[in-house]
Structure formats: C-alpha cells, structure tokens
Chain A
Amino acid sequence: MAFLRKLIAALVTPWVIGLCMALPAQAAPAASPVLIGLDGEFGHVSSTSAEAIRQGIKIAVDEINRSGGVLHGRPLKLIEKANGSLPARSVNNIKEFAAMPDLVAVFCGRFSPTVLETLPLLHQLGMPLLDPWAAADAIVDNAYSPSYVFRLSLKDTWAANAMLANLEQRQFKRIGLVMLNTSWGRSTKRAVENYISRNPGIAIVGTQWINWDDVENSMLAKVQQLRVAGAQAILLTANAEEAATLAKVMLTLPRAERLPIASHWGVTGGNLPDLVGKDFYQLDFNVVQTYTFIGQNSPTATRVIVAHNALVGSSNARSIGSPVGVAHAYDLTHILAKAIDLAGSTDRAAVRNALENVPSHAGLIKNYAPPFTAGRHEALSESDVFMARYSPLHGALERIR
C-alpha cells in the first residue's frame, strides 16, 4: 500500500508540479498583443504626416497599455509599413497585414488616391480601415455594404465649404482653383462646384491642374493664367512640395500682384514654411484644419502635449508640426480600443460591428457620442472645421478667429 502510495506519489507529484508550471504557460496567450497596422507614406520625401499619425497612435497605445490594455490585459502593439504614397505598395502591405492573425484594423495615411485603390482589397479581406487623415469624400462615401472604412478626419466637401466661405467672407468673389492632378484634387473640385451651385455670389474663373513635378516656371505660368482670368484669390489642393513651389512663385511677384491663398490641409503633411523659407510669412496663406494644440489647456490636451514632447524631444505645443495627424490618430486609437473590448475578440468583422456601437468617447478633439453609427462612419462633422494660418512665431498652425 505504502508502495502504491509512493508509486502514486511518484507519478502524481511530477504531474502536479508540471501542471503548476504549465499554468503560467497557458496564461501567456491571453497576454499576447493585439496588433494595429499603420500603412503610411513613410519614405515620401519631406512628408511628416505618417510620422504624426504614428505619434498619435503611440501616445494613445501607451495610455491604453498603462491602463491594462484591451481584452482583459492584452497590450496593443503598432505594426508599421511604408507605402511611399504608392497604391501598389499599399496593396502589398494590406495583404501582409491581413496575414497577421491578431491584427484587428489598419490605419491609413494622408494620400487619398492610395487609400481609394486599397478599398476593394480591404473589403474583400474584411479588414477594418481607420482613416485619420485622407479626405477624399469617396473613401467613406463608398458603395460597400457593410463598409469597413471609419474616418476621424475631415472630408473634401467640408474643406471646400470652409475655404470658400472664408474667401467669400473676405470679399474675394472671383476664385482660381489650383488642384493636384489626382483623385483627391478631382474630389475637391467636385465639392467646390457643389458649393458654387448653392452660392452664386462667388465664381470660379479657372482651374489649373498641377503635378508632382511642376517646377517654378510652369507653376508661374499657371498662376499668371489665373490672374489674367481675373482671379482675386487662389483655392489650393496640394501637398507641401507643390504648395512650396506655388508659394515661391507667388513671392517672385510684386506685392500688389500676389494673390491670397486658401489651402486644403495636405500642405500640413510636410513642413511648408521650412520648404519655402522665411519669406513665406509675407504671403496671405490660410489652411483648413480641425484641431490645433495651441491654446488648448484641457487635461487630455496637456497630457498629449507632454507625451508628444517626450516622444519626439520637442518643447511645447507649437512644436507639433502636423497637429491634425496626431490628434485624429490619438482619438481614433482610443475609440478602436473601446471597440475591441466591446467586440470581446480580435475578430475583424466583430471589431467592425463594434466600431458602429461604441456608445461615446470623451476625446482630445471633442466628445464623441457616439463616434460612429451604422449610418455614419464619419466621427467629425463640418462644424469641427476651421481656418488656420502659419504663425510667424515658430511656424505653428494657429486658428484664425
């Protein structure tokens, strides 16, 4: 009997010890990270937008992980891939993200044409896309049902309305359009035409399409054509590089011949004042924005500014070069975390459904109640849009009041 007990003890004890040792090993999968993808325009020369989005996500992820993560203790982890604004590379990236089991959603970058080309693949793969910047209307207003795209950003229609209202308010009635020759530029032009059809007091005198390789000579010819057509101001849709070329051209004109510019916010995806030089501040240059850290003193804003400064080594709110990228990505990451918890799993379809059902979120930009619904995949509204200008003090974007 004693032998039997010894035998049993000899057989059971290692099993119990092994069981005890195995318990932590079984708990380990519960702590495996939940992945978030970022398919951004890293590698695109002079672009800072992807970096700003990365900063916003990281600040939010740090806060969420410090608070216990998602799904009862699993940390969030950001995976980045560079697309350099190339749709083909973005498609490859989406495929690679889709192959990662615990990746729940992908953030996109600033370039609308790139995002638009990935939409079929995203819906084919059932991958939720979170858009913190790209503004083409068709990204959210797509034909997919259910739609996997959720945007916390501005849309071209709102931008066009804000720019034109600003110009009209300043008594500029004859507007020349300078549009980037992409789907983004065409989307903005359609929005402008819709505004004009509702507001006959303001007119478009001409449209000049620009490309990524426009040099100062070709840009000057386009500006002069608009001037000859009677333009009193320019409405610009371009990225920072093309806008810098336009600004340099404008500075070559005598002061009396320079036209005021109301710009879409693609220019804030790079450091426009640095690209132009110190004379940039001589220009009348306003840009659409949805958020500025300057003058914000809420606890959330203070927390994000401090975290941002610690992350990139900057000193104050004026150092945040692309504020909308940081702010949008920050709020969108928090909303995603709530959706993951609401879904209770990393299943992408469940997370997509949960995003439509997050009841509310007190965010950096505003209180979202709710952020998204089944019929509304835009977290912001037109009332969140305002015009800003580059302050001669450090070149920071500040709201025009």
Chain B
Amino acid sequence: MHDWMAHSIVNRATVTGIVFVLFMTFFLALVSLPVIYQQVASAQAADARHQTLRLQEYFELRLDTVSEGLRFLALNSFVVNAFIDSSGRELYLQPLLRDFQVPFGLPGQLVVLDMNHAPIASNDYGDLSGYAGHPVARAALSTGKPRLGLEADGLTLVFAAPVFYPPVSAFVGTLLLRVPVERLFEASSRYVGANQCFLVSAGTHVLYRPPCLAGTLNMDTDAGPVHALRLALAGEPIGLLLKDYEASLAAPLGRIFLSYIFLAILCGVLAFAVFRKPVRSLTRPLVELSRVAQEIAADPKSAGVATVTGGDEVGTLGQAFNAMLGELRELQTGLEQGIAEATHELRIAKETAEESNQELACANTDLARSQTDLTAVNQRLHAQNALLEESEAHLDGVISSAQDAIISIDSQHRVVLFNPAAQKMFGHSEAAMLGQTLDALMPQQFRARHSDHIRSFVTEDANSHRMGGARQLFALRSNGIEFPIEASISRFHSNSHWQHTVILRDITQRMAAENALVQSRQDLARSNADLEQFAYAASHDLIEPLRSVASSVQLLQMRYEGQLDARADAFIAHAVSGATRMRTLIDDLLAFSRVAANANKATDISMESALAAAVANLEVAIADSHAQITHDRLPNMNALGTQITQLLQNLIANAIKFRGDKPTLVHVGARQAGGEWVFSVADQGIGIEPKYFNRIFELFKRLHTREEYGGTGIGLSLCKKIVERHGGRIWVESEAGRGATFFFVLAAVA
C-alpha cells in the first residue's frame, strides 16, 4: 500500500479525498437521525388515519353503489310493467331479476313486493312468504325513498327501493335486495395494510369480523393505536374500528441507518472517481512531453507533437516545446517544395504540345464538312426551281377557271391578259383584246374617269383597292349593252415597270334581287303600320260598347241575383265573367297597339322612377302575395317612361302570378355591357320549360289554363313589343320549378 501511494501523486490525492468524504457522511447522519425519528413517527400516525378514512369511503361507496343499482332497477320498464301485468312476470320479470348483477359481484337475493307488501317475484324460486310485510320495504314504500336495514340476526343487510308508476303518479311496490354482511365488508389488501385489522359493528352487533380477529371477540385496543370511525348511512349508524398491529419505529429507523451506510460507500466510490480524474489531468502533460521527446530521439523525422493545452505553467512549457519542433520541420519542408515545383513546370510544357496537335486535326475535319454543305445547297436550288414552275402552272389554271373577269394592262394601258371569264362577260376574244386599251369595255362616259383613276392609283401607296367607292360601276358588252359590275384593281412591279390587274364581277342578278327585297320590306312596314292602326282603332272603338254591356249585366246581377231561378243566376254570372274578361283583353290589346303609336316620344327617364311607379301600381298584388321586390342601382335611359313602367310592371306581375305556393322574391337587376344596359327580372316561382322560351312572347299564347292562372296572353307580347320598339331585345332563362329570369337590353329609341 505504501509503495502504491509513493509511486504516484494521483494515488495519494485520491486516498485523502475518500477519507474526507466518509467523515462528512457520518457526521451528517449523526446530526439528522433524531429529526428523522420524529418525522417517521408522525407519518405513521397520519398514514393510519388516512387508511381508515379510505376504508370508510370504500365501504360507503359499496353501500351507495348497491343502493343506486337497485334504484335504477326499480326504474326499469319491465319491473314497472310487472305490477300491472301479472302474467308477464314469468315471461320477462323473472329473467330480468335473475340476470341482475349486484355491484362488486356480491351475492344477493332480489324480491319484488307489491303495494300490499306481498312478494310477487324473486330471482330464485325459494319460499318468499317470509318477505311479506318486510319492515324495510314498508319504510321505502311509505317514504318513496330507498332504505337500508339490518336483519334481526345481524348477518344480512337489506336494501329497498320503491317502484314508481307514472300513469297513476304513485309508488306501487318495492324492490328488496338482501346481501350478506360478511361479503359486503370484505376489504381488499389495497385498502387494508398487512399489519392492520378492522371491525364493523352496528349497535351491539358485530357485522364483520375479519380473519385477523379469529378466536377473539373484540379488538384489543390496548395493544396498539386504534382508529374509530362511523359510516354515514341512511338510518343505520355503523361503526368501524381499524387497528395497526406491530406498528414500530425500529424497522423504519433500521432501514434509514442502512441507507446511511450505503450512502457512505457510494460517496467513497464517487470520491475515488472524482478526485482521481483532476489529479491525473495535472500530471498528464508532463508524461506527454516526456513521451514526445523520447519519440523524436528515436526517429528524427517523426511528426509527433505534444498534446498539451491550457494556459498554466505546464501548458506554456508544452507550447514552447511544440514551437521548437515546428521551426525545425519548416526548414526541412522548404527544401522539399522547391524540388516539387520544378517537376510540375516540366509536366505542363509537355501537355501544351499535345493540345496543339489535336487542334490541327480538328481543322481538317471542318474543311471536309464545308464541301458536303455546298452540295446540299445546289440540290435545294434545283428543288425550288421545280416548285416555281409548278406555281406558274397553278396560277394559269386559277386565272383560266376563275368566274370573275381578270384583265391585266401594262404601263401603256394595253391589255396583256384577258382570261376566259372576261371573254364570256364582254363578248370579245382574247386575240381581239390583247394589245388594245380598255376603252372598248366601258361606256363612253366612264372612259376619261377610268384613265384618271389608273393614273392616280399609280401614285398611291396601296397595292390594291376596290374601284368606284360609293358609286355604281358599269361595263360595256361587245353588243353595246351596259351592265353593273364590281371591280377591284391591283398592281405589281415586274421587270422595272408596273403592271395593273383588274378583277370584274357581273352583279346584274344580285342588284335585281336587292331591289326586290327593298320593295318587300317597304310593303311589309306599310302593312304592319296599317294593321297596328287597325288594331288600335278596333280596340278603341270596341271598348265603349263593351263597357256598356258589362255595366248592364253587372247591374242585372246586382239587382236580380237570387230572384230568378238558379240557371238564370248562372247565366248572368257567366255573362259578367265573360264581359270582364273581354274588357281585360281589349285593354291589353289597346295597350299593345299604343306601343307603336307612341314610339317616337323618347325622353331621358330614370329607371328607378319607372320601377317605383310599376311597384306602386302592383301594391295590392304584392301585399296579397307577400312578395318581396329588390333591385340593383338602375341607370337613366333615353326611353318612353310610360312604356318602360308598363314593361317592368308586366314582368313583376308575371313573377308574382307564377310564384307557386310560396311567397317569392323578385329582383330587378341591371349591368352595363359595352354600350348597352342589360336589365333582368328574376323570381323564384314555378319556372318555364326551355321548349316554351319563344312561345311565351307570342300574342295570345298561354302555357296554363285560365282556371289555373288568369290573364289574356298579351302581357309578355306587349313586353317584347316595347323592348323591340326601343331597339332592344328580350329573352328568358329558366328551368321548370326553379324560377325564371327575364332579360331585356335597352338601346336608345331610334
């Protein structure tokens, strides 16, 4: 041991540290043991009290849980039903009772007693007569609350829950559950310690005597601490005694003493580990310097250095040693680098010569590739020549087969091309016209103007344009007859001079057709005006006599209804209805006719005002139908105010009429699209099938019978007419059952 300590500074320092730590540990133990003694004694007492409380809560939980389980069983509809259905007791009540699991797996006898306290069912088939008039059942039924009681022998606890029957608002019987006390107060080791024992009693009865008290009648309260508590249960105070046996401080204090010994050993080991390491770190650099010096002495080329760090004295020594080694090695390294650089330059010169040889070989390859490209260019030139010849042939074919006359003149205005269509149109042969001027082809009065036109065209920038402008052009056939034409002229530059080509089309037949069309339109407009005038006059003239007829039959109805026989009343009612309907029809027709009559009185109007007027006119219908009218911000338009009001009124009235069986929301929208305004009237009504989109705008067209929806079939026709008179258009977008949206575009009235 002595040699071991003398051998190393590290060993001596380690032994010193261990001795110090052991001393401190024993000192601390000596001071703390009395305090720990007090703490252990106090904790033991508190733990015993806590244990007793836990045991009490555990027993109370068991009793409450059993009682609640019984109470819930008493609410079961089969249990209740059995009180009014005696024949069902075997069918469903007995199985239910047999299947009932008493909480905590306790055994129990379950008995159902009726309102006379007579047993009517049980979970076993034993003799039930002993339960008749059971006092606990009586108490539960009379109070309407669960009750708990102890049988006279003190061996069985009885739970009772009353059964309530809502249809008569009364308690009609009780459920009785008998549980052996011994099983109820069995406590697991989780709640009772190995050295503890408890006793449950009620009055003079010992309800539960655990195995730890076997052979003794009562608990020996002198042998150790006893904790007495009471279970708070309905009506039955139950006592609980818990006693700790062999409660002693020797065991815990012994365990603490052993812990101190273990701690001292642990601290010694730790001191050995903790002290030895720093002392070793102090001596390690000296050992390292010694090792490197020995290595260099053995091999002068050795690259080793001393791994000494830190700023203390030993660190400084190590650094000075390493600096000396570094300078020696640098001198050696300088010599070796000079030799390496010279070798490198020689290698670079050799690589440059090899690259020059490779470039010469590449130049030869490029020359051969250029010769190949030249051959390919020649081949392409030949191909283009062939295409050019084909194109000329194609052009000749086009000119020969053209339906229009094609005539080319040179800079001296002499004909150089006169195609077959020109020959046919003018009646001159190509041979006759080649080298001639165009004078023979145009009437005398156009010849001078034509020469001026050709001259002016030469100075223009454009290479082609239509001839004549707004004027009608005419040509002259060989037989002297003039005919209308369309002509266009073009020019191109060829062989240092200009050439002009004129393309002419004979429009004699088209002009005749256009003239006929203009004539038809004039006739149709005149006819429509006559018809509208007639409809207006007819409606206007019809309204007076009809008003007279309607008034008369209404008077007839008011004065004589009920005085004539039933058939007469029916006839009069038909007449009133027909006259009213006809008047509505004529009013609508008159409005329809007035659209044309007022078409020229457009002014600047506010669409918002027009909509307000339309809504005001429909006030009653809107109120009756509970419809809601909303709108976007609407612009001012140049239009006829009364007709726009009529238009909006008809569309909104339409939306209300076809709303279906629920109130509808009608929205009037407006958006600008280019120079136009697109208005919309959207509803949530019955909608329209797409196949009727056009039909609904026709006059007198209806999609429903008059019994389903009233009306004349003129409203939407009137809308269409108003919109068209304003230069606009109207259409509908809809889907059956999902509402409809009418759109109309308004332009300024012409």
User: Interface on A for B, CB 8 Å cutoff?
Assistant: 43-45, 84-89, 91-92, 111, 113-114, 116-117, 181-183, 186, 211-213, 241
Say whether B85 contacts A181, CB under 8 Å: yes
Say whether A113 contacts B172, CB under 8 Å: no
Q: How far is the CB of A118 from chain B (nearest CB, A)?
A: 10
Using an 8 Å CB-CB cutoff, how does the interface string of B129-172 with A read, 1 for contact, 0 for none?
00000000000000000000000000000000000011111101
Within 8 Å CB of A114, what residues of B? 84
Q: Is B116 an interface residue (CB 8 A)?
A: yes
Q: Please pick, from B78, B83, B87, the residue contacting A88 in the complex, using a CB distance under 8 A.
A: B83
Q: Is B114 an interface residue (CB 8 A)?
A: yes
Q: How far is the CB of A142 from chain B (nearest CB, A)?
A: 13
**Number of A-B residue pairs at CB separation under 8 A:** 74
| Contact (A86, B169) CB under 8 Å given A182-B84, A212-B81, A213-B80 | no
| Contact (A212, B116) CB under 8 Å given A88-B172, A113-B87, A116-B87 | no
Within 8 Å CB of B77, what residues of A? 211-213
User: What residue of chain A has the Cβ atom nearest to residue B86's Cβ?
Assistant: A117
Report how far A111 CA is from B84 CA in the complex, Å. Answer: 9
Say whether A87 contacts B86, CB under 8 Å: yes
Within 8 Å CB of A87, what residues of B? 83-84, 86, 114
Within 8 Å CB of A186, what residues of B? 87-88
Say whether A92 contacts B168, CB under 8 Å: no
Say whether B81 contacts A181, CB under 8 Å: yes
Q: Is B665 an interface residue (CB 8 A)?
A: no
Q: Is B637 an interface residue (CB 8 A)?
A: no
Say whether B81 contacts A44, CB under 8 Å: no
Within 8 A of A (CB), among B71-103: 77-78, 80-81, 83-88, 92
Within 8 Å CB of A181, what residues of B? 81, 85, 88, 92
Within 8 Å CB of B169, what residues of A? 45
Say whether A211 contacts B81, CB under 8 Å: yes
Report how far A211 CA is from B116 CA in the complex, Å. Answer: 24
Within 8 Å CB of B172, what residues of A? 86, 88-89
Within 8 Å CB of B173, what residues of A? 88
Q: Is B115 an interface residue (CB 8 A)?
A: yes
Say whether B86 contacts A116, CB under 8 Å: yes
Q: A84-B170, A89-B172 are in contact. List 8 more A-B contacts (CB 8 A).
A: A91-B116, A116-B87, A181-B92, A182-B87, A182-B88, A183-B88, A212-B166, A213-B166
| Contact (A92, B116) CB under 8 Å given A86-B172, A212-B77, A212-B167 | yes
Report how far A186 CA is from B92 CA in the complex, Å. Answer: 13
Report how far A43 CA is from B170 CA in the complex, Å. Answer: 10
Q: Is B591 an interface residue (CB 8 A)?
A: no
Say whether A183 contacts B83, CB under 8 Å: no
Report how far A181 CA is from B80 CA in the complex, Å. Answer: 12
Q: Is B118 an interface residue (CB 8 A)?
A: yes
User: What residue of chain A has the Cβ atom nearest to residue B169's Cβ?
Assistant: A45
User: What residue of chain A has the Cβ atom nearest to residue B75's Cβ?
Assistant: A213
Say whether A183 contacts B86, CB under 8 Å: yes
Q: How far is the CB of B111 from chain A (nearest CB, A)?
A: 15
Report how far A150 CA is from B165 CA in the complex, Å. Answer: 30
Say whether A88 contacts B168, CB under 8 Å: no
A-B contact pairs, 29 of them (CB 8 A): A44-B168, A84-B165, A84-B167, A85-B168, A86-B83, A86-B115, A86-B165, A86-B168, A87-B83, A87-B114, A88-B114, A88-B116, A88-B172, A89-B115, A113-B85, A114-B84, A116-B86, A116-B87, A117-B86, A181-B92, A182-B88, A183-B85, A183-B86, A183-B87, A186-B87, A211-B77, A212-B80, A212-B81, A212-B84
Q: Please pick, from A45, A88, A113, A182, the residue contacting B167 in the complex, using a CB distance under 8 A.
A: A45
Say whether A113 contacts B80, CB under 8 Å: no
User: What residue of chain A has the Cβ atom nearest to residue B85's Cβ?
Assistant: A182
Q: How far is the CB of A255 from chain B (nearest CB, A)?
A: 16
Report how far A92 CA is from B116 CA in the complex, Å. Answer: 8
Q: How far is the CB of A177 from chain B (nearest CB, A)?
A: 17
Within 8 Å CB of B78, what residues of A? 211
Report how far A211 CA is from B118 CA in the complex, Å. Answer: 24
Interface residues on B, range: 20 to 34
| Contact (A85, B80) CB under 8 Å given A45-B167, A91-B116 | no
User: What residue of chain B has the Cβ atom nearest to residue A186's Cβ?
Assistant: B87
Within 8 Å CB of A212, what residues of B? 77, 80-81, 84, 166-167
Within 8 Å CB of B92, what residues of A? 181
Report how far A26 CA is from B166 CA in the complex, Å. Answer: 51
Report how far A166 CA is from B169 CA in the complex, Å. Answer: 37
Q: How far is the CB of B533 from chain A (nearest CB, A)?
A: 58
| Contact (A45, B168) CB under 8 Å given A113-B86, A183-B85, A213-B80 | yes
User: What residue of chain B has the Cβ atom nearest to residue A241's Cβ?
Assistant: B167
Report how far A43 CA is from B168 CA in the complex, Å. Answer: 6
Instruction: Choose among B80, B83, B84, B173 the residue with the greatest number of A CB atoms under 10 Å from its CB.
Output: B84
User: What residue of chain A has the Cβ atom nearest to residue B116's Cβ?
Assistant: A88
Q: How far is the CB of B701 from chain A (nearest CB, A)?
A: 36
Within 8 Å CB of B116, what residues of A? 88, 91-92
Q: How far is the CB of B270 from chain A (nearest CB, A)?
A: 72
Q: How far is the CB of A166 from chain B (nearest CB, A)?
A: 27
| Cβ-closest 6 pairs across A and B | A84-B168, A88-B114, A183-B87, A182-B85, A117-B86, A211-B77
Report how far A131 CA is from B163 CA in the complex, Å. Answer: 29
Report how far A345 CA is from B614 CA in the complex, Å. Answer: 93
Report how far A85 CA is from B80 CA in the complex, Å. Answer: 12
User: What residue of chain B has the Cβ atom nearest to residue A86's Cβ?
Assistant: B172
Q: How far is the CB of A169 from chain B (nearest CB, A)?
A: 32
Within 8 Å CB of A91, what residues of B? 116
User: What residue of chain B has the Cβ atom nearest to residue A117's Cβ?
Assistant: B86
Report how far A45 CA is from B78 CA in the complex, Å. Answer: 19
Say whether A86 contacts B84, CB under 8 Å: yes
Within 8 Å CB of B85, what residues of A? 113, 181-183
User: What residue of chain A has the Cβ atom nearest to residue B165's Cβ?
Assistant: A86
Within 8 Å CB of A211, what residues of B? 77-78, 81
Within 8 Å CB of A116, what residues of B? 86-87
Within 8 Å CB of B87, what residues of A? 113, 116, 182-183, 186
Within 8 A of A (CB), among B570-584: none
Report how far A182 CA is from B91 CA in the complex, Å. Answer: 10
Q: How far is the CB of B748 from chain A (nearest CB, A)?
A: 55
Within 8 Å CB of B167, what residues of A? 44-45, 84-85, 212, 241
Report how far A87 CA is from B84 CA in the complex, Å. Answer: 6
Within 8 Å CB of B168, what residues of A? 43-45, 84-86
Within 8 Å CB of A84, what residues of B? 165, 167-168, 170
Report how far A45 CA is from B166 CA in the complex, Å. Answer: 8
Report how far A157 CA is from B114 CA in the complex, Å. Answer: 31
Instruction: Choose among B77, B168, B169 the residue with the greatest number of A CB atoms under 10 Å from its CB.
Output: B168
Q: How far is the CB of A77 from chain B (nearest CB, A)?
A: 26
Within 8 Å CB of B118, what residues of A? 88
Q: How far is the CB of A178 from chain B (nearest CB, A)?
A: 16
Report how far A92 CA is from B81 CA in the complex, Å. Answer: 19
Within 8 Å CB of B83, what residues of A? 86-88
Report how far A186 CA is from B91 CA in the complex, Å. Answer: 11
Q: How far is the CB of B87 from chain A (nearest CB, A)?
A: 4
Within 8 Å CB of B84, what residues of A? 85-87, 111, 113-114, 182, 212
Within 8 A of A (CB), among B634-654: none
Instruction: Choose among A45, A88, A114, A213 the residue with the greatest number of B CB atoms under 10 Å from its CB.
Output: A88
User: What residue of chain B has the Cβ atom nearest to residue A211's Cβ?
Assistant: B77
Report how far A186 CA is from B87 CA in the complex, Å. Answer: 10
User: What residue of chain B has the Cβ atom nearest to residue A41's Cβ?
Assistant: B168
Within 8 Å CB of B165, what residues of A? 84, 86
Report how far A87 CA is from B77 CA in the complex, Å. Answer: 17
Report how far A117 CA is from B167 CA in the complex, Å. Answer: 19
Q: How far is the CB of A110 from chain B (nearest CB, A)?
A: 12
Q: How far is the CB of B175 from chain A (nearest CB, A)?
A: 15
Within 8 Å CB of A43, what residues of B? 168, 170
Report how far A114 CA is from B87 CA in the complex, Å. Answer: 10
Within 8 Å CB of B81, what residues of A? 181-182, 211-212
Report how far A111 CA is from B169 CA in the complex, Å. Answer: 17
Within 8 Å CB of A44, what residues of B? 167-168
Report how far A212 CA is from B92 CA in the complex, Å. Answer: 15
